[in-house]
Structures are given as structure tokens and as C-alpha cells.
Amino acid sequence: MRELALYIGGQRVDLDGDELILMNYTRDDLENPTAVKNSYSRQITLKGTENNNRLFGEMFRSDRRTVFGDDSTGIYFDPMRKTPFEIYDELSSIIESGYVRLDKVSRKGADISYSVTLYGGLGGFFYSLSYNEDGTKKTLGDMSYKGFVENDDRIATFVLDYGVLSAKYVDEAWEYMSYQSNPSSRGWTYHFWNIINFAPCYNGLPEGFDADKAVIPPKRYENVPSTGVKDGLTYTRRDNTSTNLLKFARKHTEWEVGDLRWYHQRPVVSIRSIIEACCHSANNGGYTVKLDEDYFNSDNYGYWDGWVTLQFIPKDERTDIFCIHNLLKKTATPADYLLSFAKMLGMVFLYDGPSKTVTIMSRNTFYHIDQDHLYPVLDLSQRIDVSGSIDIDPVVASAKYYQFGDSAIGEFADEYKDTYRIPYGVQRVNTGYDFDSQDSVLTDGVLFASAPDVLEFSRMFQFNNWGMDGNGGYTEFLFLPEYEEVKVTLWRTTMDGGETKYENIEVSAERYPFNIPLYFNETHPFADFFAKVQLHGEENKPVDGANVFLIFNQMEAEVRPMRYPLSIDRFLLTDDHPDMEVLNQGTPCWNLATGISRRLFPSFRRFKTTRDNSRVLVSAEWGVPQAVGDPTIITENIPSLYDWWWRKYIQDLFDVDTKVLKCKADLRGLEVGQELLRRFWWYDGAIWVINRIVNHSLITDDLTELELIKVKDMMNYKAGQPIY
């Protein structure tokens, strides 16, 4: 019997030799292969010796009072908080560590016992990324992020109260993104806008919004009258305003009228910043985290260019005290984001107790453990106890269909489901299990949501509709709609008993070419020049739309014939105009009066494309949709998340010849732990992987229960994820 020492909160525990510390290790959950695993021990019972009673603060006493302090044992022991543990071997080396939970205290006369559970290190790691020291849920707003000096690896507490959100700050964020998207600036300069930015999306309009009206200075529309005469009375624009109220013949989108309000831009947070923050010991309870370099690098779109949407900013929070700090304070826990990212991509977590190190790696790397890349298969034949029971079971699915991904957001998603009979962007796998017809959503618990990457067949979408005419000029491939008749509201001010009253009339303005009432005189064909993610519900109403995974594509410039000078600004990034309160009875409408002009916008998509937009490289959808309403997207042969990360592995796991073998084995001489799960084993003419190590004693040399899974093709395990 081995001599082991158990320490809780830095204090040695009395073991009398009867307590067996039984460790369990799991590679995969056959009912949900996307689940993230953790090692843990079964519950053990400690006798109430004088030392153990003191360690647990004599918890058995009814009148016991906890004294809070810096230590975690003795009079300071608090069962509400996690307390670290370590298990040492005879050579004083740590073989396991994690945190302990006191489950129960039993007292029978003078005999006292403590039932405790020792959770492996990953549990402590995720706990620290889920809760603050005071026990409250941790959010992204509670994290420290990398400093903002290039090549500075220090971690500084991030000052989240960067400033009151406004058009100015969104414009600054996009300007910084424009710099970062330049290939010559591809490095990562640490800056506020690397953590939070803003994605142009179709976010819906607030309730009561007048999408067929706008405030506009008279000179910014051709022949907008400043006065009008009716029944011999002269009407002019309302007193104390510098704008008129314009009425369109129909409702317009923000992209048609060139009105991009800062609070209509969807705030997004960088995946890379979240993961880097999770890797910092100040945020995760003192753990060292290593990232798989084959995945976590600048060539991988999901890590380097991945962003996640935050909540839509409601109207009542658009105040002078609304700071960017509020955005991250309303998020899920950092553990939720990290686990969701790992689950989505089939990542594996390894934990090394002695060094308190967590390693995050792809499935490929998990099985590539030999530097010579020969991947030797180890013989298990002489270790299995053939005198005992050996059970061989088929791999049986829990449902006929395994589904990757869930419902997307938006009207287009609902229409898509009605048309194609499957949810937008999901992958359904027929397991062949015909005893029921149920769907099992394997990605339940993944925080990241989907959203259609469409223009909803916008008639203004003109991308790629301009081509060379052979003479160095451009030819219109698709003509814009007919001119639109618009009206301007004018007012006559009268005095009635000292009270100011207004009468109004509507007069027609000269029709403006190409349908769009912009504020410069050049003939300018407006185009909705890149697809945007749909994050609104029925009747164009905003939805929360948080946690949608997006890929930063590049900065998109305006698309139009070169005969129009590039110096013409297209859009105004705007705030609400105060004249709305006067001109439109306080109801918000389009603002064509003031703002910050922009010509470049960041494009965040569900598809990653080449820089010339000629073809799609990869999709962030579980299943590539059959139609997205965007003529620039070629939906044939696009690798989806399922294709890229799961297909080969799932096909091997649920092959008709896959079997589960349960037996007992002699593991003496082997370092038992997660490393054994990374090996391929030979037994009875087939190749296997160890899926579970059950009740392995750290003290005795008893046989250990094993669960093995038959492997059809090792390459489906160690080369089944073509990273990029």
C-alpha cells in the first residue's frame, strides 16, 4: 500500500489507511461527445481526529461560529467557499490537486466523521472563472485584460469606464479596426477596441420609430422649400429649428438613408481577448494555462477574428452615464464563454496537478503525443484480467438524430425553417437508431448562437453588380428603382392669446434621382454594399441577440462606379437630433442632419471570405444553409463547423462496428491519469482508446475498471480537424 499524504487548505489531514482515494478519468461521453470532461474522486470519509476536527473548525459543534480571515482551515473554515487540496506521494511530489467540498458531518456519540469530495483541478479552474471571491457570479466585466502597449505582456486591470457611448466612440472603434485590418498591421496592438467594438447588423428599429420620416437641413436635399404658400398664408419651417421634417413615400432602412446611429450598432467582444483573460492567473485562481499553438494562432479565423455580440442597447439606457463598462457587466461568466468555445470546436482540457497547469488543445493535438509522429499503439493484452467479466456492448445512440446547433434569430430564420423544414444553419446527423425519432441537440449548453447572414433580399443590395465596360469605365448591371416622391412639412407660427400655435402643410420636394435623399448634390447610386447579420424579430423589432458568434471579415469600402470621387462620404454615424422632439412630437425618425461621416465599415459575418470576396473559405454555421439571400456567397462545398471539426470523429464513433469494451486491468507501472486516454491500445485484434478509468486507487494496487472504445481509423482521431 502506497503512503500518500492529503493536505486541505495547506494543512495535513489524518488518514488511518482505510480511506481509499479513488480517481476517475473520462475521455468522452457517448451520449454527448461535445461535453467537456473533468477528473474527480469519489466521496471519501475522514475520521474526526483531533487534528481533522481542528482543520474543519469543529464543524460538528452546534454553537460553532465561523471567524472569517485569510486562512481557509480551522476557525476560518467556510464550507461555502472552495478550499484547495493536494495529494502527495512518498517522494513529496504532488500527484493530484484541486478543491474540496465538505458534504456532510456525522456524529454518533463520540465518533465524528467528515464526508468530503475532492474535485480535480479543472473544477477549481472553471470555478474561479465563474465566481468572484464574494461568491457572486463573475462576468467579463470582472476580468483583467492585457495592457495596451505593443509587445507588453503584462496584465493590467482594464479600465472599463472608457467613456460615455456615442457616435464619437463608435467612429473611433471603427477607425482602429480599419488600422488593424490592414495586412501590414496584422499584429495585435493592445487597445480598448481590441476587446470591444461594434458590428454593423440589421438590429431592428425601436418601437414607435418613424422609418418613413427624417429631419434634414433644407440645403441637403434638392430644392427643399423653406417656405410655402397655401390659402394666402405663408408657411415656413418651425421656429427655433435648423431642420425640416421630411416624409418619404415608403419606409427606409438605415443603410438606404445613410443614418447609422451608434446605439443601432451591435456591440461585440473579442473571442481572443476573452481567452487571453481566462489564461491569466489573476483571473482563474492562480492556474497556468497553455494554448495549443496549432490552433491558437493568427492564421485561425475562429480564434483571431472571432467576436461575440453583446446585448442590444435599449433606449432607456442611452443616457449620459451609460458607459462601456455596462456592456461587459451584463455578460455570462468567462467560464461559460471558454467552455462554449471548447465544446463548439471539440477542444480538450488537460490538467497537470503538480504544476497546476491547464492545457487547451484540439482533438488532433490530444492524440499527437509523440515527437517522432509514429504514434505507437501500445499492447493492452497482458494487462486485462481475462479471468473476470469482460463485457462488449455496441455503441448505441440516445436518439435517431443528433443535432449540432440550435435555432437562429430573426424573421428570415423562421421563413427558412418553413421553406426547408430544418432550422437555419444546423447539422442533423442520422445515427441509425430507429427505436425512436427524437432529436438530441448535442450542442445544448453552447452559449454561442447563430444568426442568418443575409440581406433579406434587400432591393438595394448592389454588391458585385458593377462591372468593367471594356473601355475602362463601369456599366450598371442592375438598375436602381424609380425616383421617389418626398414631401416636406412646413409650419406657420401664429399667436393665440399669447400662446404660440403651429399650423402645418406638406409640400412636395423635387424628386431626387436613385431613390435616396442624401445630402450632397452629385448623382450618386446608393448601394447596400455588404451583407449584414440579421438580429431582429418580427416586424423589424429588436431582439436581445446576445452571444452570436461572428467572424471579422475585413473593412468594407463603398462600392460604386469610379466616376464618382472617393472623397464623397456615404454614411453619417449619428446621434439623435434634438429637433425630433419639436418636429416629430418626440417620435424618433431618421437623422440626416448631423453626425460623423464614414466611408469604411467593419464587416462581421457568419462566413469567412477571401479579401477579394471571390469565394467563401469557411462557415461559422454548424450546417451551411441552402440559401442565404446574398449573391456573393457560394454555398456549395463550404466547410461548416460540423465538417471542419466533427464529421470524421462522429462517423468513426457511431460506425456500425464500433464497440464498447468494459473490463478490469492491471495498470501497475503506468502513470495513471489523462495521459492514458491519449494513447491507442491493441487488444484482441483491434485498436482501442480508453474512454473511462473508473475507481483507480491511488493507495492500493487493485485492478482498475476500464471502458474502451473500438477505433475504426486512427486518422479520424488524430487528423480529423483540418484546423485551417
Q: What DSSP character marks residue 37?
A: P
CA nearest to 7, candidates 70, 125, 100: 100
What separation, in Å, do the N-terminal and C-terminal C-alpha atoms of the chain show?
A: 49
**CB–CB of 266/309 below 8 Å?**
yes
Strand 686-697 to strand 704-710: parallel, antiparallel, or no bridges (unpaired)?
antiparallel
Which is higher by pLDDT, 379 or 723? 379
Burial category of 442 from C-beta neighbours within 10 Å (exposed 0-12, middle 13-18, buried 19 and up): buried
pLDDT reading at 652 higher than 70? yes
Question: What cell was used for 673?
Answer: 491519469
Q: Provide the pLDDT for residue 463.
A: 45
Mean pLDDT of 8-34: 74
Burial category of 448 from C-beta neighbours within 10 Å (exposed 0-12, middle 13-18, buried 19 and up): buried
pLDDT reading at 141 higher than 80? yes
Q: Provide the pLDDT for residue 447.
A: 92
Return the percentage of the chain with pLDDT > 90, whole number: 20
Q: What single string gives the DSSP state of each residue in 409-437?
A: PSHHHHHHHHHHSS-TT-EEEE---TT--
Q: Is 57 left (phi over 0), alpha (psi -120 to 50) or beta?
A: left
Which region among 42-46, 401-405, 558-562 has the lowest average model confidence (pLDDT)?
558-562
The mean pLDDT value of the chain amounts to 79
Question: What cell was used for 312?
Answer: 442590444
pLDDT reading at 546 higher than 60? yes
CA nearest to 634, candidates 620, 623, 618, 611: 618
**CB–CB of 712/688 below 8 Å?**
no
Q: Is 337 helix (H, G, I), strand (E, B) or coil?
A: helix
CA dihedral for 652, 657, 662, 663, sign (positive or negative):
negative
Which region among 50-54, 86-90, 534-538, 563-567 has the lowest average model confidence (pLDDT)?
563-567
Q: Which residue has the cell 492567473?
A: 281
The string of pLDDT tens digits covering residues 491-516 is 888 888 888 888 889 888 765 443 34
Burial category of 471 from C-beta neighbours within 10 Å (exposed 0-12, middle 13-18, buried 19 and up): exposed
Q: What's the Rg (C-alpha) of the chain?
A: 32
pTM of the model: 0.84
Which is higher by pLDDT, 686 or 96? 686
pLDDT reading at 517 higher than 80? no
The CA distances from residue 190 to 132, 141, 194, 267, 272, in Å, are 25, 17, 6, 18, 11
Q: What DSSP character marks residue 636?
A: T
Burial category of 206 from C-beta neighbours within 10 Å (exposed 0-12, middle 13-18, buried 19 and up): middle
Mean pLDDT of 534-548: 87
Q: Provide the pLDDT for residue 685.
A: 93
Task: Say how far apart CA 244 and CA 489 lie, in whole Å.
Answer: 7
Q: Provide the pLDDT for residue 152.
A: 46
The string of pLDDT tens digits covering residues 249-302 is 878 878 777 788 888 889 999 999 999 999 998 899 889 999 998 889 887 888
Q: Provide the pLDDT for residue 20.
A: 65
For the stretch 241-244, contacts whose Cβ atoms lie closer than 8 Å and that sit 24 or more positions apart, written own/partner, are: 241/579, 241/582, 241/583, 242/217, 242/579, 242/593, 243/215, 243/216, 243/217, 243/218, 243/577, 243/579, 243/583, 243/593, 244/215, 244/216, 244/217, 244/218, 244/488, 244/489, 244/490, 244/583
Q: Provide the pLDDT for residue 525.
A: 42
Which region among 2-6, 90-94, 392-396, 628-632 has the lowest average model confidence (pLDDT)?
628-632
Question: What cell was used for 33?
Answer: 461527445
Q: Provide the pLDDT for residue 1.
A: 61
Task: Say how far apart CA 558 and CA 527 lie, in whole Å.
Answer: 8
CA dihedral for 579, 583, 584, 590, sign (positive or negative):
negative
Q: Is 231 left (phi over 0), alpha (psi -120 to 50) or beta?
A: left
